[in-house]
Structure 1
Amino acid sequence: MRPIHNAHVEESGLAVVDVAAADDATAFRIQELLATHGAIAPADRTTRQPGEPGVRLRCFVDLRRQSGR
């Protein structure tokens, strides 16, 4: 995964969330749940690490703003 930079978490209410899940469907469902609590910069794909189980997904959450839902 890419490094987390100061700009990603420079203020209260900003977060970087790394999700590890068994499959894509589960990872994207977690992302949807996060979107109900704040504005997110969603991931459009998951990643897999050779030799490691499951998938990974990273999204950026801004709890200071309401989601568009």
Structure 2
Amino acid sequence: MPYLDPFLERHVSEPGLLVVDVAAADDATVLAFQQLLAERWATATAEQTTRDAGQPGLRLRCYLDLRQQLTAAAVVGPSMEPTTARP
């Protein structure tokens, strides 16, 4: 059974577009990983993680566009503060 909902075809409709599903033990780890991605590529970042009953850890999904590499000056990353996960 999949942990996250299916993604839309438009999210992978062209070369260079990615859907990234991440699992980790805690919010800080998964949000730090997302931040690393967002510092390099145009990224639609997730604002909260999800926790599935009976499954280990928590999950996060973000969308990347590898065609748009960012410069360090252009990056305004998401907050690294943990968000409220669903029980």
Match of 2:37 among 19, 34, 37: 34
Q: CA-to-partner distance for each residue in 1:5-25, whole Å, 9 max, x for gaps?
A: 210001111000000000000
TM-score, normalised relative to structure 2: 0.74
CA distance in 2, matches of 1:39, 1:60: 8
Which amino acid counterpart does residue 48 of structure 2 have in structure 1? R
* Number of residue pairs aligned between Structure 1 and Structure 2: 69
How does 1:1-69 map onto structure 2 within 5 Å? 1-67=4-70, 68-69=74-75
Q: CA-to-partner distance for each residue in 1:44-68, whole Å, 9 max, x for gaps?
A: 0000011111110000001111333
Superposition CA RMSD, Å: 1.0
* Residue identity (%): 55
Runs of 4+ in structure 1 deviating by more than 2 angstroms, as ranges, are: none
TM-score, normalised relative to structure 1: 0.92
Unaligned 5+ residue runs, structure 1? none
CA distance in 2, matches of 1:50, 1:23: 15
The structure that has the greater radius of gyration is 2
